[in-house]
Structure formats: structure tokens, C-alpha cells
Copies of this chain bind each other. A is one copy, B any other.
């Protein structure tokens, strides 16, 4: 037979079983956490009408998108989960209850130039809350609580949710008479952490065409740091000069006010005036999330408040707030940095049942009994030497093996072998179930282990 060399396309993540188990655990935590906050799961098609996906147009998107014909149809693969959400809400507007809270954990596609750590197919794990006409600021205040719950759920402690408000920035630039340049300025300030204040100043002067006084005011402004209370107090010093600024400041105060009630510790949250998010789309609160020991990774969870979700599709004001986690990239980076917990069991089963007699019946029954206790049980029926059977259990990382030979059957018991200690005990099926349960409770073992 003529053979084709098997390969997986570059830029597409395909994990080995043990790693996939860790990825699945992260997805489970995301689903569970998003559900705890009352978000509905959503699942939109990966393929949409290209005209609809590209309604907004824009250079990079159009270049990266996977677009193709099938029959007469002009089709494309979604490149994010926000545009499909906008389409969904516009299409089903009359059937939805607002605020509409949805989560979606799905793959998106971008045909970028392949490079290390960049993916062409990757999971996004998004939540959004969409209002009909209005949306209360309380929703924006709740988002950091959800981010906090997700990342602590993964096992992370050393992270910081950074929050700012675009109205504060836009109001401040208006005070300086720089409203028309605010987009350019924000994109420049966004690079602060990467290139430092000196280079930001140069770009502001040379590329954005600011006067020295304006640039200095901006650098002074974004240099405001300290505790949340200190930053908010410093911002009060600018109050009363611009309505938009004042509104943004009120919103920022509302977002920070109830952090303790929301269960977010001070050390995991910071008002950060350098955060702007590159997208023009955001109009109020903006969020980024940094891993404190890995600043080079950049934000692992970003989002913000927007005023117009679906203007391309429907004549309704649909403001919203949302965040997105680039799950595939996050997983890749965590793995590369050695942060995935090696103690998280990655075996596909809690126990391997080995029939040791000609009649497999008793082993089958025992496996069923163990499953009724909620254990993941693999029945191993291959005709191999005993050593090979144990080698298989070891290769999979299965923590327990149960042997059923003539002696065990005669005694109405089974032999339970702990693969980690080598200890072997003669026990009843119920005792075996209990011991395996105690030895395989993974609910307290975090996915991520910081050093």
C-alpha cells in the first residue's frame, strides 16, 4: 500500500493524552466557574457567511481569515467569538432575556504566519454580558471577581487583574486638547511596559506630533501608581475639568468599591492607568490580567466595556462587557514555563482491572461495581504476560491495579495493588473502591503549580 506520511499542520495544537487531560481540567474549571456566575453556555457554528463575519472589515482580520467557496456560498471560519455573538444576539434579539449572559469556549481560526507559541487554531474562553439599551456598572464590577475565581481555580496565586477606564483616558486627553489624537496616544502608551517611558515620549513627540508639555503631562499621568486608594485620590486631582473624565472616575470607583464583597483580595487587583487595550471597540472599563512572575507573556485575560455590540446587524443599542481568555496560548505558555502541576494525575483511569483466570465474568462484574462508586475503570483483557500488564499500567500512569486470580476468587476478594508504593492488599470490592477513591481524589490538586 502506498503510504502518506502522517503530520499535523503547524500552528495547530494536538496534545498527547496526558497533556490533554490537563487541558480538559482547565476547560472544566472554566465551564464550572462561568456557570457559577449565571452565564449560559453557547455554541455557534465555526463556519459563517463571510460577509457577516467581515461586516466590520479591517485589514488584519481580512488577511488572516480562512475564507473559501462551497457551491455559491462565500464562507469563512470565525476568527473570534465576539462577531458570532453579535450576530447571534441580533438574530435572536426577540427570544433572549436581557441582560444576556453567555459563555463560549470554542476554537477560532487565524491564518497567521506560523511562529513559536502562535496558533492558527486556538480556543477562546469568553464571557459577555449584553444589555438592551442600558447595562448597570455592577456588571463591570463583577468581572474581576470572575477572573479571580477562574485563575485561583487553576491554582494560580501570583497574578494581578489590572483595570482602567477609557473614559478617564479620553477625558484626560480632551483636557489637553488631544481628543483627535487619543487613539494614537493610547496605542503608544499601551507599549509602556515593553519599551519604557523614554521611548513612549519619543513616539508621542515624533510620531503623534505632541508638544513637549503635552507629552510630559501624559507621562506624569500614566506614572500615577500606588494602592488603589492612592491612584483614585490622585485622579480626584483632575476631577471637575471634563465631564467624560468625571464619569469615568465614578465608574472606576464603582468597580473598585466592592472588591472585598466580591471576594477579590487587594494583591490580585490594581487600578492601572497605562491599560488602554488597543481596540477602539472599548468605551469604558478595560481589563488585563498579568502573571506576576511572567510579565513577558503579556495579558492572559483581557476585555472591557463596549457600547455597541451588534450595530452592523441590528438597529438596537446593545452595550456589554466581556473578557476573553486565549486558552490554547495560555496552556502552551504554562506548559513551556513548567507551571503545569506534574502531580495532577493524567491517567485515563483510576484503576486497571486484570482478569487472571479463563473466565472474565468476575472481573467484568468487579469493574462494574467499582464504576458504580464513580471510579474510572479500565478492564484489561489482552493476553499478555503479567509483567507486560503491569508495564502497561505504569506507562498510562494508572495508580491502582486490581488482580482477580483463583485465590482471590476463592476468598471472595480481590488483590489491590498500589502502583506508586507497590503495596498489595487482599480486600473486598467495596474496600477496594473506598481505598482507590481516597487515593485518587483529584478535586484538591491544582492544574497549575507555581514555584
A4 within 8 A of B: yes
A281 within 8 A of B: no
Interface centre among A7, A120, A392 (most CB of B within 10 A): A7
Which A30-71 residues have C-beta < 8 A from chain B?
35-49, 51-52, 55, 66-71
Chain B residues closer than 8 Å to A374, beta-carbon distance: 36
Which A1-42 residues have C-beta < 8 A from chain B?
1, 3-9, 12-17, 20-21, 23-24, 35-42
Q: Is B3 within 8 A of A17, CB to CB?
A: no
Chain B residues closer than 8 Å to A365, beta-carbon distance: 261
| A311 to B142 alpha-carbon distance, docked (Å) | 54
Which A289-328 residues have C-beta < 8 A from chain B?
310-315
Q: Is A16 within 8 A of B360, CB to CB?
A: no
Task: Determine which of B99, B134, B368, B383 lies in contact with A136 in the assembled complex, contact meaning CB atoms within 8 Å.
Answer: B383
A107 within 8 A of B: yes
Given known A-B contacts A4-B52, A261-B368, A376-B35, A121 and B47 have beta carbons under 8 A apart: yes
Q: Is B70 within 8 A of A378, CB to CB?
A: no
Given known A-B contacts A92-B16, A95-B16, A21 and B40 have beta carbons under 8 A apart: yes
| A360 to B145 alpha-carbon distance, docked (Å) | 15
| A352 to B314 alpha-carbon distance, docked (Å) | 29
Task: Determine which of B47, B96, B109, B314 lies in contact with A9 in the assembled complex, contact meaning CB atoms within 8 Å.
Answer: B47
Chain B residues closer than 8 Å to A166, beta-carbon distance: none
Chain B residues closer than 8 Å to A364, beta-carbon distance: 142, 258, 261-262
B-contact bits for A223-252, CB 8 A (1 contact / 0 none): 000000000000000000000000000000
Copies in the complex: 2
Q: Is A377 within 8 A of B37, CB to CB?
A: yes
A97 within 8 A of B: yes
Q: Is B41 within 8 A of A24, CB to CB?
A: yes
CB distance from A322 to the nearest CB of B (A): 16
Q: Is A312 within 8 A of B3, CB to CB?
A: yes
Which A352-381 residues have C-beta < 8 A from chain B?
352, 355, 360-362, 364-365, 368, 371, 374-381
Q: Is B71 within 8 A of A68, CB to CB?
A: no
Interface centre among A13, A40, A86, A111 (most CB of B within 10 A): A40
Interface centre among A23, A86, A360, A396 (most CB of B within 10 A): A360
| A312 to B7 alpha-carbon distance, docked (Å) | 12
A131 within 8 A of B: yes
CB distance from A70 to the nearest CB of B (A): 5
Interface centre among A39, A51, A91, A261 (most CB of B within 10 A): A261
A445 within 8 A of B: no
A451 within 8 A of B: no
Chain B residues closer than 8 Å to A46, beta-carbon distance: 46, 107, 121
Q: Is A378 within 8 A of B42, CB to CB?
A: no
Interface centre among A8, A38, A42, A362 (most CB of B within 10 A): A38
Chain B residue nearest in CB terms to A139: B381
Q: 23 A-B residue contacts at CB 8 Å? A: A3-B311, A3-B314, A4-B55, A4-B313, A6-B91, A8-B87, A12-B45, A14-B43, A17-B40, A17-B96, A17-B100, A17-B102, A20-B41, A20-B42, A20-B43, A35-B348, A37-B377, A47-B120, A68-B68, A70-B111, A99-B382, A101-B348, A138-B379
Q: What residues of chain A have their CB less than 8 Å away from a CB belonging to chain B?
A: 1, 3-9, 12-17, 20-21, 23-24, 35-49, 51-52, 55, 66-71, 73, 75, 86-88, 90-92, 95-97, 99-102, 107, 109, 111, 120-121, 131, 134-139, 142, 145, 257-258, 261-263, 310-315, 348-349, 352, 355, 360-362, 364-365, 368, 371, 374-383, 392, 395-396
The 3 tightest CB contacts between A and B, nearest first, are A138-B381, A38-B378, A68-B68
Q: A6-B91, A24-B41, A40-B348 are in contact. List 12 more A-B contacts (CB 8 A).
A: A1-B311, A8-B88, A15-B43, A16-B95, A36-B375, A46-B121, A47-B120, A97-B392, A99-B382, A138-B381, A257-B361, A261-B368
